Amino acid sequence: MKTKPLAKLRYCIGCLVALAVAAVSLFPLLWMFLASFKNKQEVLATPLRMLPKQWISTNYEAVLVSTKNPLFHAMLMTFIVAVLGVIFSLLVNMMAAYAFARLDFFGKRLLWVYCLITMYVPGLTILITSYLVVHSLNMINTVWVLLVPGIAGGYNIFFFRQFFLNIPSSLEDAARIDGCGRFRIFWTVFLPLSVTPMVVQGAGIFIGYWNSFMWPSITVTDKSIQQVMPIIRSFQTDYGTEYGRIMAATCLAVIPPIALFAVFQKHIVKGFVLSGLK
């Protein structure tokens, strides 16, 4: 009789702690959102106010009309690059994964190790020489430099190969008996079966492109194709402590990833576990 209320109490405390942690996790984003509607005086004012006295939209207006740092244009450019990146990355890596999972060919083991080793090359080691490579390919200050180097990824190939290995070969055999070629099988059997891992990896690839800062900031100086994170950075340099405006810019910049997360939330969380457990 006595243990039951105690267990219940412990359960409630557990729930409260969990809620508190979630609130602390989300608070910085809420704080950013609220600050974006505060005016210059209020945003760092003492004493502190949680909600803006008056909700103003001038921060957003200022950020969106800025010609020096064209945020909306940068978001559009980044979106295009990221979507193309997702499409090509899925296509290229899934084709390679299919070959490794289902076909026999000379040098398979060697090529497999070759692809896997690329996963262990830290970005830091090849930063400078990657710049030299794209420079010698005349890709500096073009959309290509933003898109192409990120397409192929050892990890993506690894991930899809694991998935393809678990697809029963009977499905494929049926198609082969009907006289389908390997490309047809890849398109008509494997792609439709891979929707979930494609969403998982696709979302990750999109967010990777969207959030990238270092690569675009060293390879692109032309503002008309600049990506969103370097633009956010230059807002911060220009505005200093005018946090209302900076926060308006960051609020806009986090909309696409958060919208994507909202739509594919279940897949993304599940995929994170899959990719983490390997």
Partner 1 sequence: MNRPTGARARRYTKMQKRDMRTAYLMLLPAVALLTVFVVAPLVMAISKSFYDWNFYGNSTFVGLENFRVIVVNKSFRRAVLNALKFVAVLVPLQIVLQFAFAHLLKSLSVRFSNAIKTAVYIPGIIAGIVAGIIFMFIFEYKGGLINQMLTSMGLSRIAFLNNGFWAMFSIVVPTIWLGFGGGTILNYAGLISVPAEYYEAASIDGAGAFRKLISITLPQMKNIFVLQCISMVTGTLQMFEVPMMMTNGGPRESTLTPMLYIYNNFKSTGVNMGRTIAGALLIMIFIAILNSFVFTVIRSERSIDG
**Which range touches partner 1 (CB under 8 A), out of 54-62, 166-174, 191-199, 258-266?**
258-266
Restricted to residues 162-191, the positions that interact with partner 1 (CB under 8 A) are 181-183, 186
Residues 6+ apart with CB under 8 A from 10: none
Restricted to residues 63-82, the positions that interact with partner 1 (CB under 8 A) are none
Output the CA–CA distances (angstroms, integers) from residue 155 to 104, 160, 246, in the order listed.
Answer: 21, 9, 35
Smallest distance from partner 1 to CB 58, Å = 18
**Which range touches partner 1 (CB under 8 A), out of 10-18, 54-62, 65-73, 188-196?**
10-18
Restricted to residues 12-41, the positions that interact with partner 1 (CB under 8 A) are 14-15, 17-19, 21-22, 25-26, 28-29, 31-32, 35
- Which of 200, 247, 248, 267 is in the footprint of partner 1 by CB under 8 A? 247
Smallest distance from partner 1 to CB 244, Å = 10
Comparing CB distances to partner 1, the nearer of 108 and 171 is 108
Phi then psi dihedrals of residue 207, to 5 deg: -65, -35
Residue 102, CB-side half-sphere exposure with 13 Å CA sphere: 25
Structure tokens at 134: 């794209």
Restricted to residues 188-227, the positions that interact with partner 1 (CB under 8 A) are 207, 210-211, 213-214, 218
- Which of 103, 166, 168, 177 is in the footprint of partner 1 by CB under 8 A? 103
3-state helix, strand, coil in the chain (%, to 5): 75, 0, 25
Residue 258, CB-side half-sphere exposure with 13 Å CA sphere: 8
Comparing CB distances to partner 1, the nearer of 19 and 174 is 19
- Which of 189, 232, 245, 248 is in the footprint of partner 1 by CB under 8 A? 232
- Which of 75, 161, 250, 267 is in the footprint of partner 1 by CB under 8 A? 250
* CA 212 from centroid of its chain's CA atoms: 9
**Which range touches partner 1 (CB under 8 A), out of 60-68, 167-175, 188-196, 241-249?**
241-249
Comparing CB distances to partner 1, the nearer of 121 and 171 is 121
102 contacts 175 by C-beta, under 8 angstroms: no
Q: N- to C-terminal Cα distance for the chain? A: 46
Does 57 sit near partner 1 (CB under 8 A)?
A: no
Structure tokens at 263: 């739509």
Q: State how far the Cα of 52 lies from the Cα of 36, in Å rounded to an integer.
A: 9
Q: State how far the Cα of 175 lies from the Cα of 220, in Å rounded to an integer.
A: 47
Q: State how far the Cα of 36 lies from the Cα of 234, in Å rounded to an integer.
A: 17
Restricted to residues 119-148, the positions that interact with partner 1 (CB under 8 A) are 120-133, 137, 148
Smallest distance from partner 1 to CB 272, Å = 6
Residues in the chain: 278
